[in-house]
Homo-oligomer: A and B are copies of this chain.
Amino acid sequence: MTTVDNGVNVQALLDAREALRSAPEAAQFTWRASAKWQNGVHSTATVEKFFGLGQEQTHKSESVFSADHPEVFAAADQGITPIEYLLVGLASCLTAGVASVAQNRGIQLRSVESTVEGAHDIRGILGVDSDVRNGYNDIKVTFNIDADASKEEIEALVAQSQKRSAVYDALTNPTNITVEVA
């Protein structure tokens, strides 16, 4: 018997699924980021703590991210644009899903690469035309996967990853956002 090892602890995830079936309150997570304006449209966002499994949790280390606009928008380009962070989240979520599903199906991965492209008509955010939306018009993801599996099995991996992806859902379906001033 060949041992497939993609580095995903699938048994722990299956155990968590069973444990949370009878403890839905433990499944309620709150993820957080805090942002600080620097200058112009440049800001930094910090991610460290979150809530889950009934208690406060902390990432192993604090992560800080810079966001800015590029020079073609007359800004200093001290970080990627806010909307590009959505592509980072989407690509990494689908990639994690591919690895998890492959592990669960006994498929050894060798490499998984993807390109994500978001089409954005900036007339929306600039207020040129109120019929143009502010966000992406559409997003295209292209995977290149080298694995011990047929093309059909690889396509099925990707399809299942999409089906269970938190970020794919968050971008393809609406979420209510409340914005308050303290």
> A interface, by DSSP: helix, strand, loop or mixed?
mixed
- Report the interface size class on chain A: 35 or more
CB–CB B31/A120 < 8 A:
yes
For this chain, the copies found in one complex come to 2
Does A2 make an interface contact (CB < 8 A)? Answer: no
Given contacts A32-B117, A34-B116, A174-B174, 11 further A-B contacts (CB under 8 A): A13-B126, A31-B83, A32-B118, A40-B99, A67-B88, A82-B96, A124-B164, A125-B164, A125-B165, A137-B175, A139-B178
A104 to chain B, nearest CB (A): 11
Residues of chain B within 8 A (CB-CB) of A68 are 96
Interface centre among A41, A90, A120, A128 (most CB of B within 10 A): A41
CB–CB A83/B174 < 8 A:
no
Residues of chain B within 8 A (CB-CB) of A63 are 79-80
Interface string of A169-181 (1 = CB under 8 A from B): 1111111111111
Partner of A47, one of B78, B80, B96: B80
